[in-house]
Amino acid sequence: MALSGGVDSSVAAAELLRDGHEVVGITMRLWGGESDTGCCSIADVDDARRVAQQLDIDHLVFNFTDDFNKHVVDPYVQAHRDGLTPNPCIECNRHLKFDRLSERADLLGFDAVATGHHARVVQRDGVWFVARGEDPAKDQSYVVHMLPQRELARTLFPIGHMTKAQVREKATALGLRTAAKPDSQDVCFITDGGGRTAFLGSRIPFRPARVIDAVDGGALGEVDALEMVTLGQRRGIGLPGGGPKRYVVGIDHASATVAVGDESLLLCDSLAVRNVVWAHQPVAGPVAVQCSAHGAAQPGDLARDGDDSNGNHSNDNEVVITWSSPQRRVAPGQSVVFYDRSNTYVLGGGIAVG
- Alpha-carbon span 238 to 226, nearest angstrom: 12
Q: Which of 198, 193, 194, 114 is nearest to 156 (CA)?
A: 114
Torsion sign (Cα): 300, 302, 306, 312: negative
Is 40 considered catalytic here? Answer: no
Q: What is the pTM of this model?
A: 0.91
- Alpha-carbon span 43 to 156, nearest angstrom: 26
Is pLDDT above 70 for 308?
no
What would the pLDDT profile of 66-84 be if each residue is shown by its tens digit?
A: 999 999 999 999 999 999 9
List, in order of start, the domains of the chain with CATH numbers.
Answer: 7-174 (3.40.50.620), 205-261 (2.30.30.280), 267-352 (2.40.30.10)
For residue 32, the model assigns a pLDDT of 73
Is 89 considered catalytic here? Answer: no
| Whole-number CA gyration radius for the chain | 22
Catalytic residue among 40, 188, 268, 291: 188
Confidence of residue 243 (pLDDT cuts 50, 70, 90): confident
Torsion sign (Cα): 264, 270, 275, 276: positive
- Alpha-carbon span 45 to 49, nearest angstrom: 6
Is pLDDT above 70 for 148?
yes
Catalytic residue among 39, 40, 89, 92: 92
